[in-house]
Amino acid sequence: MARDDYAPDLSHLGQPLSVGDALARALRRTRDTFSPRCPYRVGDTVIGDDPFSGRREGVVVWRDRRSVGVKTTYGVFFFDHRLVRLLD
């Protein structure tokens, strides 16, 4: 049986990488390029307004593509980036 559906992957020291896996990685990178990103940076002073945890103001200490961690005097709260705005 021939292994025509595998291409050599030099980044993993010769471990075989299937063509389907390579296409899935490329598709994931392309999809992530167009997904929403968090506009805030670590160190920004923000206000997070969440219906469950209330309104908190603090400093961004953690960020991801869609969420931010805001450090307040009461601890760190995680918000969706759409519920956070910069402090005036």
pTM across the whole model: 0.59
Positive or negative, the Cα torsion across 50, 53, 58, 63?
Answer: negative
pLDDT value of residue 73: 92
Which residue ranges form the domains of the chain, and what is each CATH number? Answer: 45-86 (2.30.30)
Mean pLDDT of the chain: 83
DSSP H or E run through 26: helix 19-34
Mean pLDDT within 50-78: 89
